[in-house]
Amino acid sequence: MAIEFILNGKPRTVDVEPNMPLLWVLRDTLGMTGTKFGCGMALCGACTVHIEGVATRSCVTQISSIAGKKITTIEGLSPDRSHPIQQAWIEIDVPQCGYCQSGQIMSASSLLAKNPQPTDSDIDDAMKGNICRCGTYQRIRQAVHRAAQLQGAAVKTSQSGSEGNNEIAPDAQPVEVGGAA
Amino acid sequence: MSAGTTTKVNRRNFLKTTAAGAAGLVIGFYLPRNSEALAALPEGAAPATLNAWIRIGTDSSVTIQIDKSEMGQGILTAFCMIAAEELDCDWKKIRTEFAPAEKIYFNPAFGTQGTGGSSSVRSSWDPLRKSGAQARDMLVQAAAQQWGVEKSSLRTEDGAIFHDATKRKLAYGSIAEAASKLPIPLDPPLKDPKDYRVVGKPTKRLDTSIKVDGSAEFGIDMRRPGMLYASVTRCPVFGGKVASFDATKARAVPGVKDVIQISTGVAVVAENTWAAMQGRRALEVKWDEGANANLSSEGISQLFADRAAQPGLDARREGDAVAALSAATRKLEAVYEVPYLAHATMEPMNCTADVTAGRCDVWVATQFQTVSQATAAKVSGLKPEQVFIHTTYLGGGFGRRGEMDFVVDAVEISKAIGAPVKVTWTREDDMQHDYYRPASYAKLSGAIDADGWPVAWTTTIACPSVMNARYPERFKLDPTSVEGIVNIPYTIPNILIDYQRVEPGIPIGFWRSVGNSMNGFYSESFIDELAAAAKKDPYEYRRHLLGKAPRHLAVLELAAQKFGWEKPLPAGRFRGIAVLFAFESYAAQAVEISVNRSTKTLKVHKVVCAVDVGRPVNPSTLVAQSESAVVYGLSAALHGNITIDHGRVTQTNFNNYPVLRMNEMPVIEVHIVPSEEKPTGAGELSVPPLAPALCNAIFAATGRRIRHLPIRPEDLA
């Protein structure tokens, strides 16, 4: 069955079984492996994507249910790791093994979109569905707060600046330490 | 040629093996006997093996071969730091590659190429420094020849060579090719640590950017042309076999291509992972459950208890603990027990293999490259040199990825179907077919004198042997079965630790911190019991007994000082402390909690860690690893419980095998003891102190001693 949707801003059509989860369509059919498989039951959050801007577990989302909708994956969050969440993640060196981080980042960016100044308790609520076995939670919390600052600064710049660009505060630029692997 | 002798790089071959435009100096580079590029070359073209870690391109890029697995512990960055320190290269120009399976990369701790036992920095500290120094020395030598000046008149910094007298400068890239033609020096001088500019400085990880945009490639992300996807169903009872199966319904599932029996179970092969999993659901298998079909956690516990009642193999005997106990008037006895635990890495087990007539490629998130190679060779019927292991990033390891079951799956299926295949385990497969942290049982006795100080300590440990599971029957007394208690550091005149090996038949393996995860809980809880019996402060009690253990004492004091042990806690808050040696390093933790006894709930507010790992290479990742280990230990103490019923694991997924989540996360502080000692283990060190420190805090709050993990609600009443 052909299903059309908007993936990271571009229209896509896939011809797959209608009950196939979005996760496997992304990973196997479309080759977009940034979204991870962790549990298959919406228990761990590794597969989190945005559907119409809302953090959603793609492992339990049938592809037929997203026809016509806008999907954002980790690959589409920003073209250059410039989303405040990504910037804060880099600044605070959040990831360890990194496997859960796509899901963490998608949950955190969804939180920040609707709540620009989340409290610790807001972070608990929004992030407790995302498991990290490396235990990066403390840094995730710190990075969500930092991203809120960066986003706030960006909003300010964009409101006062003549061009209204997306640049964030200069001290928030990630330190380039060289590419790996 | 053996290591340390002179060799030259065969330039023609080298060019073939390097990435675009990156010719230049290859220090200690050799063409791996089974590298892809070499496969096409005539025999005898490869120079002998030497060091094999550093390559410098004409563009001054420095490529470091990472011969250990990056599973979150930050080894990729630490190795680059160690090599870069001696090489004096430009940090921004460092690149990395995961090394192939090769003898040169054998870890002396294992005799194979592998990552585990917190051994990476310990085992690579010397070779990587030497490799960096060799490269630097050759570059300097080449520059000296080019300029016609004394080598000693040159200095290096940030990837360039300077002749200050004539204000000349050469980038490494411009001299790398000339340097590559020079002999490799046997023993280049190493830097004085006081001149270190990289090692010891908090340094950002090199793999962060690819882990925030989804581009880091884990084993599960592999894709090959023409690749099929497989899911394997295994007998739910350990040791069971396929009796028969009916694939009719499975084959009818859209996308399913094939159903085959393999040694580990029945594999459904399909055009995508989902179809393979759906096919598997429709598959009908009859199992021959075998001898373990009646195993249960209760039965295993009883077996441990029966065996612990008998004396075991001596692991440590000092003085006469039995006589001292019988003569003592103040005695304590306690039984402790912990369950099997799953590793539950975030990336479920998986492997991709492509077996053809004369070659086998394996893409795998493995902790053991050469064992993967040997396994794939055996299964495919090829020679090890025909097997190419491509190590990816690991989505968590914790010991689980040292096992070979997923490699066997992929290689067998690819060989059978004649196509590349990726096997992906479901979370349920991963949870129910792990090589578990063993369950374990301890019987402890202690006696204290009139002043409360211990005069005797005995322990019998009853548990399976992890080392014998890996290396069959090689160990009479597996040191990992008693580590964490055999080495109690306290001054006690009479000590007897013995070991009863019990093998119930559940697959077991290395689990972050191995025996320390159980025995550290026993030893640091029981010393707390003695302190309580003596009516002494548990911190001061330990301090008093650590006269012969200065590094234990230093971490204990640092943790207590940073925690503010001397200050009273706010009302309703309680604290516990523990100190342990593991992986040649020292760790202490102080934990602050509150307990709501009516709701039987617990909140962990703060964990203060102190660590002494010798010279810290990257203090940033040391802090991160300590945070990580606390979370791993806390997950186990609060939630971790694999139970066995009718020979199978009861738990299936994160709903019934919960792990720590954001809302349960305490504040963690990490303090590092400054040290000039050789670097020692860091990745597992801070797991074992957590459970005893936490349970000692619960005792302080409730007066109840927790002797079974995980902590149950009724323990908090």
The full DSSP string for A96-141 is SS-TTHHHHHHHHHHHHHH-SS--HHHHHHHHTTS--TT--HHHHH
Per-residue pLDDT, averaged over A143-171, amounts to 68
Domain match, B152 and B248 both:
no
> Which ranges of B243-296 would DSSP assign to H, the alpha helix?
248-252, 273-282
Burial class, B423, CB count within 10 angstroms (exposed 0-12 / middle 13-18 / buried 19+): buried
Contact B654 A28 (CB under 8 A): no
Please name the residues in contact with B351: beta carbons below 8 A apart, sequence gap of 6 or more.
B219, B362, B363, B364, B406, B407, B409, B410, B411, B422, B423
B658 belongs to a structural domain: yes
Using a CB-CB cut-off of 8 Å, the residues of chain B touching A81 are 209, 212-213
CB-based burial, B520-532: b 16+ in 10 Å, e otherwise: bbbbbbbbbbbbb
Question: Does B96 reach chain A within 8 Å, measured CB to CB?
Answer: yes
Contact B346 A132 (CB under 8 A): yes
CB contact under 8 A, B631 and A135: yes
Q: Structure tokens of B242? A: 């396929």
- Per the CB < 8 Å rule, is B426 touching A33? no
List of E strands, B563-600:
574-582, 585-596
Q: Are A17 and B254 within 8 A, CB to CB?
A: yes
| CB within 8 Å of B377: residues ≥ 6 apart | B360, B383, B384, B386, B387
With residues binned 3-state (H G I as helix, E B as strand, rest as coil), the percentages for chain A, rounded to 5, are 40, 15, 45
> Where does chain A hold its CATH 1.10.150.120 domain(s)?
84-171
Residue of A nearest to B431 (CA): A39
CB contact under 8 A, B206 and A81: no
- Residues in chain A closer than 8 A to B208 (CB atoms): 89-90, 93-95
State the virtual CA torsion across B478, B479, B481, B482 in degrees, nearest 10. Answer: 140
Domain that holds residue B484: 297-341+436-716
pLDDT average per 10 residues of sequence, chain B (717 residues): 33 31 45 33 27 84 94 98 97 94 86 93 94 94 97 97 97 91 91 97 97 98 98 98 98 98 98 98 98 97 97 97 96 98 98 97 97 98 98 98 98 98 98 98 98 98 97 93 98 98 97 98 98 98 98 98 97 98 98 97 98 98 98 98 98 98 98 97 98 98 98 96
Report how far residue B369's alpha carbon sits from residue B358's, in angstroms, rounded to the nearest whole number: 20
Q: Is residue B208 situated within a structural domain? A: no
Q: Are residues B269 and B394 in the same domain?
A: yes
Residues of A in contact with B424 (CB under 8 A): 37
Q: Is B654 on the interface with A (CB under 8 A)?
A: yes
Question: Residues B702, B618: one domain?
Answer: yes
In this structure, are B464 and B495 located in the same domain? Answer: yes
Contact by Cβ (8 Å): B413, B230: yes
Structural domain tally of chain B?
3
| CATH value at residue B357 | 3.30.365.10
Strand partners, B670: B609
The whole-angstrom distance between A158's CA and the closest CA on chain B is 24
- Note whether residue B677 is domain-resident: yes
Nearest chain A alpha carbon to B65: A181
Burial of B595 (0-12, 13-18, 19+ CB in 10 A): buried
**Burial of A107 per CB tally in 10 Å (0-12, 13-18, 19+):** buried
Reduced to 3 states (helix: H, G, I; strand: E, B; else coil), residue B48 is coil
**In-domain check, residue B429:** no
CB contact under 8 A, B655 and A176: no
> What are the start and end residues of each CATH 3.10.20.30 domain in chain A?
2-76
Cβ distance of B660 and A135 shorter than 8 Å:
yes
Q: Does B95 touch chain A (CB under 8 A)?
A: yes
Categorize the per-residue pLDDT at A180 as very low, low, confident or very high, splitting at 50, 70 and 90: very low
Q: Do A38 and B209 touch (CB under 8 A)?
A: no
Q: Which two tokens stand for residue A165?
A: 């660009």
DSSP state of A62: B
Q: Would you state the CATH architecture of domain A84-171?
A: Orthogonal Bundle (1.10)
**CB of B456 within 8 A of CB of B447?**
yes
B322 in a structural domain: yes
Yes or no, beta carbons of A180 and B76 under 8 Å apart: yes
Contacts of A151 (CB under 8 A, 6+ apart): A84, A112, A116, A168
Cis-peptide, bond into residue B464, ω within 30° of zero: no
B93: nearest CB among A38, A95, A178: A178
Interface check B320 vs A, CB under 8 A? no
Q: Measured between CB atoms, which of A97, A128, A138 is closest to B346?
A: A97
Q: Please give the sequence-ordered ranges of beta strands (E in DSSP) within B339-381, or none if there are none.
A: 350-355, 360-364
Query: Are A131 and B659 inside 8 Å of each other by CB?
Result: yes
**Token match 């380039």: residue?**
A176
Do B90 and B60 form a contact (C-beta atoms < 8 A)? yes
Q: Are residues B533 and B553 in the same domain?
A: yes
pLDDT at position B648 is 97
Residues B370 and B447 in one domain: no
- The values of phi and psi at residue B371, to 5°, are -70, -35
The verdict on residue B430 lying in a domain is no
Contacts of B156 by beta carbon, 8 Å cutoff, 6+ apart? B88, B136, B139, B140, B162
B620 in contact with A at a CB cutoff of 8 Å?
yes
Q: Which tokens hold the place of B238?
A: 């350990």
Q: Is residue B235 domain-shared with residue B188, that is, in the same domain?
A: no
- The DSSP-derived string for A22-51 is HHHIIIIIS--TTS--S-SSSSS-TTEEEE
Pairing state between β A2-7 and A70-72: parallel
- Look at B221 and A33 and tell me if their CB atoms are within 8 Å: yes
Report the C-alpha dihedral over residues A174, A177, A180, B4, rounded to 10 degrees: -170
Distance from the A140 Cα atom to the nearest Cα atom in chain B, whole angstroms: 9
Distance CA A71, CA A54 (A): 9
DSSP classification of residue B114: B
- Interface confidence, given as ipTM, is 0.93
Collect all residues of chain B within an 8 Å Cβ-Cβ radius of residue A104.
Answer: none
Percent of chain A with pLDDT over 90: 83
Torsion-angle region of B418 (φ positive above 0: left; ψ -120 to 50: alpha; else: beta) = left
Residue pair A173/A153 in contact by the 8 Å Cβ criterion: no
Over residues A117-140, the pLDDT tens digits come to 999 999 999 999 999 999 999 999
B35: left (phi over 0), alpha (psi -120 to 50) or beta: beta
**A97 to chain B: which residues are within 8 Å by CB?**
70-72, 345-347, 393-397
- Angle CA A125–A128–A131, to nearest 5: 165
**Pick from A35, A40, A101: which is nearest to B212 by CB?**
A101
Token pair of B561, please? 């000082």
Alpha-carbon distance B216 to nearest alpha carbon in chain A (angstroms): 8
Domain-ending residue, one of B382, B401, B424: B424
* Candidates A85, A119, A134, A150, partner chain B, best to mutate (most B CBs within 10 A): A134
Task: State the amino acid at position B258 in one-letter form.
Answer: D
Whether residues A33 and B93 touch (CB distance < 8 A) is answered with: no
B302 and B252 both lie in a single domain: no
Query: Using the beta-carbon criterion (under 8 Å), do B653 and A90 form an inter-chain contact?
Result: no
Name the CATH code of domain A2-76 (choices 3.10.20.30, 3.40.50.1950, 3.30.200.20, 3.40.228.10).
3.10.20.30
Query: A139: which chain B residues are within 8 Å (Cβ-Cβ)?
Result: 624, 627
Contact B274 A17 (CB under 8 A): yes
**Residue in the block written with tokens 């971490």:** B555
Q: State which of B367, B393, B424 marks the end of a domain.
A: B424
Residue B110, pLDDT score: 83
